[in-house]
Amino acid sequence: MTTQNISEFFIGRQSILDREQNLAGFELLFRSSQQNSAQFQDNVTATCSVINHAFSELGFQTILGKHRGFINVSDQMLMDDMLELLPKDQVVIELLETIEINNVVVERCKYLKSKGYLLALDDVARYSNNLEPLRESIDFIKIDLKASGMDKLADTLVPLKKWPGKLLAEKVDNPDEAKQCLDAGFHLFQGYYFAKPLVITGKRMSHSELALMQLLGLVMSDADTEAIERVFKQNPGLSFNLLRLTNSAAARSRVKITSLSNAIMVLGRRQLQRWLQLLIYTNDNRTSFPDPLMQLAATRGKTMELLVKNIPGCTKTMEDQAFMVGIMSLMNTLLSMPLAEIISPLNPSAEIRDALLSRQGPIGQLLSMIELLESYNIDAANELLDNLEPLDIEQVNHAQLEALAWANSFEQNN
């Protein structure tokens, strides 16, 4: 990993939420696998190569699903004709804060706006009069909470609230900041606050969460079908969803589902386990952010399942364990409980327990690397990747893209 190649890049996606806590889009992040100080002779060429590889060859649907993607552009790329090859119905052109606002930039933004593109100002910390010529061209104003400061946020917003563009709070790190931004009138929110563990002592699971965890424990321990069926019978809503899911899967083979036990057998234990894991993240009884958390959990699990296949000696059991570790690693956020307490009644294998609680073993190291990529700590992720040979950047990129497509298809079908 010491050679420089434009194809060696990491793709990052950071969720953007609306006021109703629904997933509204993603910021797409690209970075070379080299250290941050690494420079390309031609940054425009490098960025164009990344976009071409990620989107022209793979398609925007793979990366974004039904959502929009915010893409950072420099002053050079803003002026490049290549920008107009991007699909205007799926991207937001995000002007980096390093762009000098002059007449040329203003006219270019007006032109792109006339062509139907949406534009965003990135990392705004303070209002400045030199931004005023962009007022009618800008659709989103991204306020950097760290640079602005929460204590000065109200003053920063006074002039910007008069703009027609929507206000987007970025670098939101905790629920308190999220609430302050809601009260301040922001339309959109970006940050990792919805995926950070928030332990609330004494919180209890709802009845449906308990049933899901009970079912997951039974499936993981290879309990007999009658025991699993009994739990389903006590939860009519889950039974209905199981039958609906199984009937949809069985329609292709024209198998008629006649009972819950029949549905469990037709669906199969492996698919039943995955459905239960994903269902936990879409439980309507929760009040936090279901869609982004489900997306993140699903993508984590699938990425890890795909990557672990490249580890020498990998078995089907290891693939299942990697998927489970990835998707269960966010349960402490979901249930606001320590992870050790959550997995204890499930009686997981030592490999799963060590990976989840102490990031030990190859699966635990994979989880650490994925978490670093999600937080965009590329240098640290690179170091871990060096320890996971024969894994390389190309395999990580391929697995990420395949996992994103899989997670997007899951969202669209539910």
CATH of the domain at 381: 1.10.3210.10
Whether residues 128 and 54 fall in one domain: yes
Domain termination site, one of 191, 218, 233? 191
- The pLDDT value recorded for residue 36 is 37
Predicted local distance difference test score (pLDDT) of residue 49: 55
User: Element (H or E) spanning 226, and its range?
Assistant: helix 225-233
184 and 294, same domain (yes or no): no
Global pTM value: 0.66
Q: What tens-digit pLDDT sequence spans the chain (414 residues)?
A: 333 444 456 666 788 888 887 788 888 876 655 433 334 444 555 556 556 655 655 567 667 778 898 988 888 889 988 788 788 998 999 998 889 999 999 999 999 999 999 999 999 988 889 999 999 999 999 999 988 888 889 999 999 999 999 999 998 887 788 889 999 999 999 886 654 433 323 344 555 667 887 888 788 778 888 888 888 877 777 776 787 777 665 545 556 666 778 888 888 888 888 888 777 665 544 433 345 776 777 788 889 999 999 988 888 888 888 888 887 888 777 666 788 887 776 667 888 899 999 999 999 999 999 988 877 777 888 888 888 888 888 888 888 888 887 777 655 554
Token readout for 61 is 């649907």
Clarify whether residues 79 and 168 are in a common domain. Answer: yes
Examine the fold and report which residue of 164, 191, 218 is the final residue of a domain before the chain moves on: 191
Residue 51 lies in a domain: yes
pLDDT of residue 59: 65
Residue 36 lies in a domain: yes
Range of the domain at 353: 207-412
Q: Identify whether residues 234 and 90 lie together within a single domain.
A: no
CA distance 83 to 266: 48
Residue 2 included in any domain? no
Would you state the pLDDT for residue 30?
A: 66
The model's pLDDT over 98-151, given as tens digits with 9 standing for 90+, comes to: 899 999 999 999 999 999 999 999 999 888 899 999 999 999 999 999 888 888
Q: State whether 122 and 183 are in the same domain.
A: yes
In a domain, 4, yes or no: no
Q: Which of 306, 361, 295, 358 is nearest to 330 (CA)?
A: 295
Same domain, 146 and 223: no
Long-range contacts of 130-138 (CB under 8 A, 24+ apart): 130/101, 131/101, 133/101, 133/103, 133/106, 134/101, 134/106, 134/109, 135/163, 135/164, 136/110, 136/164, 137/106, 137/109, 137/110, 137/112, 137/113, 138/109, 138/163, 138/165
Q: Is the same domain home to 389 and 242?
A: yes
Give the separation between CA 29 and CA 42, rounded to whole angstroms: 18
For residue 52, what are the contacts with CB-CB under 8 A and spacing of at least 6? none
Question: 289 with 325, same domain?
Answer: yes
- Domain identity same for 102 and 231: no
39: three-class secondary structure by DSSP: coil
User: What pLDDT is recorded for position 241?
Assistant: 75
What is the domain count for the chain? 2
